[in-house]
Chains A and B, each alone.
Chain A
Amino acid sequence: MSQTVIKNQVPDQELMSSGHVACPGCGGSLAMRMVLKELGPKTVIALPACCWTIVAGPYPQSALGVPVYHTAFETAAATASGIRAALDMQGDTDTTVMAWAGDGGTFDIGLQALSGAAERNENILYVCYDNEAYMNTGVQRSSSTPWGAWTTTTPAGTPKSHPKKDILSIMAAHRLPYAATSTIAHPLDLLAKVKRAKETYGTRFLHILAPCPPGWKTPDEQTIDLARQAVNTRVFPLLEIEDGTRWRFTIDHPHEPVADYVRRQGRFRHLTEEQIAHIQVEVDERWKMLEGRVRGQG
């Protein structure tokens, strides 16, 4: 698709301003910009500790044109539940209440509150921008960090020895009305999913892959290409799930080998050919599992 076609389909409205303090090439800031373009100004954000705590700017500045409540690390979904309840009591049912958390705040410390909110089917949109480690504190492993990756707490000699937690399956198991994955390299896919989420009642979960140049040890200008390659290699398939049961791929996924994707990233520099082959096996196995689910056999 040409860039002009994409441009014509992306809403003009900007609710994120320049002057934010994200790192060059930050995937998480692109994610916020795109999501807010679709959600519009009638949005309230519950923002737990994550890179965006800093990116949004220090008091008294804010890079966001919507109200933001900064909250504690593990509380995004609970704080959002409270905001939703208050707005409902005021008769405001059409403002979107969005919890916006990183992978640490979602996969790890915030999982209990997220599970609670999803089980209650709170009418909130929960977005996880996933950069696959605790990047704000300087690249420590999270349960979203992929197998084999270097982080400061999984040094190259003993890289992460557990696979990335399957957060999507966990959320689907809550039978929440809408869950989806997307990346910053797929703006039309992302916008369509945000739109769908916005129009759905209940707990909606969006999982956005957001590469992080300092954490992945990749050049700033390759962020978008890396996110695209994560999809093309089926490392991060694009999906949506209705009611936790109806799974669907939202694009045709090529089957590029993972080796090039892995080799481009400094965080995987220490891996041997055998280890990369192991990643390929894992990716292919998960893909088969997902295909089964999409066919309704999962």
Chain B
Amino acid sequence: MKKVIMGNHAVSWGVRLARAEVIAAYPITPQTQIVEELAEMCAAGSLKARFIKVESEHSAMAACIGAAAAGARAFTATSAQGLALMHEMLHWAAGGRLPVVMADVNRAMAPGWTVWTDQNDSLSQRDTGWIQLYCESNQEVLDTTIQAFKLAEAVDLPVMIVLDAFFLSHTYEPVDIPDAADVDAFLPPRKARYKLDTKEPHSFGALAPPSVYMEMRLRQQEAMAEALKAARAIDEEWGQRFGRRYGLLERYRAEDAELLLVTSGTVTSTARYVVDQLRAKGEKVGLVKARMFRPFPTEDWRAALAGVPQVAVLDRNISPGHSGIFAEEIRAALYDLPENQRPAIHGYIVGLGGRDVRPETIIDCIDRTRAAAGARKGTEREDVWVGVKS
């Protein structure tokens, strides 16, 4: 069934088709429509779930944790300040190995007050142990939401689906909504490996002295490695069943490219347009879209970028005092490539707080990269801010 829906409702539809059993959420712009739609679905009976209207995001995640620990498929959604408030419980869900799924609508962090998009909210949660998947289109949002539940339950780790505020959350696009029966075949009901069970009582999350704690974190790290494989297999199965594949990252017109853009989220769609324009003029410019951020698909990045002379990473985020976060991660991933294979990585900070990233912004990044290419060698350490007022 094709429907024209907004990005937020693509999440809601994904959650409905995944048959989430417990939803706990608190309103925050620009996420709110996700849970409003879910509340409607619960009220109409098209989704049979308990919806807990909690009094904060912190409690939303705590309730999802309790529900997941008791064996349920649990979901929440948030943005920015709400995600930051959840921070403690993000560690709890991941460390407790609970397959909670959450949508984060990327919104810049205050102050000053903002509701517009950038990625600092989700990327600030990098080290909490959540799998993170960044989406470009409403179709990808819906497909990724369903994939997320399967992935989370395959490796007992929580998954965050990330979409841009407004550019995706509030933008209507045609979306192919799969049949419920086909999704059921792809994603059967959750069977928890471990859960709160009065017939077999166990204690979860008890005091872990130095003699046991480290192995718990090692198991978590191993599960992250497993998640790379599982995500690939799940995306492939999705492709076979529904005809759409996304990969952990996507190469777009990257063959024989002398300059590759690296993007994530909706900037990717604009970058595709720019690449098409430049290719039409015979310029060897391509694109790599980042989809999975954690676990970081290091080998995929090395394969995608090795031997390409110039790489321009567009970061809609900033790690203050260091650099754009995708650029930083990619630099680290490529560091030990042989020198003749290692690209020069040019980092660009763009579009913070919802500022437009237009085709000309991207062309500006490309021009700067070409200008710097002759002058500099190796991995550039200093990111350039593009689109700022002088």
Contact = CB atoms under 8 A, between A and B. Distances in A.
Interface of A: 41-44, 46, 53-54, 56-62, 64-72, 74-75, 77-90, 95, 112-113, 115-116, 119-120, 122
Contact of A86 (B60, B72, B89, B212): B72
A233 to B, nearest CB: 36
A90 B72 contact: yes
Nearest to A124: B66
Contact of A58 (B24, B64, B207): B207
Interface string B45-83: 000111011111011101111111111101000000000
Nearest to B209: A58
Given A87-B70, A89-B50, 13 more contacts: A57-B206, A59-B206, A59-B208, A61-B206, A68-B202, A68-B203, A71-B66, A77-B59, A84-B66, A85-B21, A85-B67, A86-B70, A89-B21
B207 A67 contact: no
B22 A85 contact: yes
A122 B208 CA distance: 31
B66 A62 contact: no
A69 B196 contact: yes
Contacts of B186: none
Contacts of B88: 72
Given A75-B59, A82-B65, A67 B71 contact: no
14 contacts: A41-B201, A42-B198, A44-B70, A62-B201, A62-B202, A62-B206, A67-B196, A69-B205, A70-B206, A78-B58, A79-B62, A79-B65, A83-B196, A86-B70
B179 interface: no
Contact of A59 (B66, B74, B207): B207
A64 B204 CA distance: 12
Contact of B22 (A62, A79, A82): A82
A95 B22 contact: no
Nearest to B70: A86
B336 interface: no
A83 B68 CA distance: 8
A78 B66 contact: yes
A81 B69 contact: no
A70 B204 contact: yes
Interface in B113-164: none
B66 A81 contact: yes
B198 A59 contact: no
A28 B60 CA distance: 29
Interface of B: 21-22, 24, 48-50, 52-56, 58-60, 62-72, 74, 88-89, 92, 196-198, 201-209, 212
A56 B63 contact: no
Nearest to A55: B207
Contact of A83 (B48, B70, B89): B70
A44 B59 contact: no
Given A78-B62, A82-B62, A69 B52 contact: no
A55 B72 CA distance: 28
B21 A71 contact: no
Contacts of A87: 70
Contacts of B53: 120
B203 A86 contact: no
Contacts of B202: 62, 67-68
Nearest to A21: B207
Nearest to B204: A69
A62 B203 contact: yes
A95 B198 CA distance: 8
A64 B201 CA distance: 9
Contact of B198 (A44, A57, A58, A71): A44
B213 to A, nearest CB: 9
Contact of B203 (A42, A67, A90, A116): A67
- Shortest 3 CB-CB distances between A and B: which pairs? A82-B66, A116-B55, A86-B70
B198 A85 contact: no
A70 B55 contact: no
Contacts of B197: 67
A70 B203 contact: yes
Contacts of A83: 66-67, 69-70, 196
A82 B209 contact: no
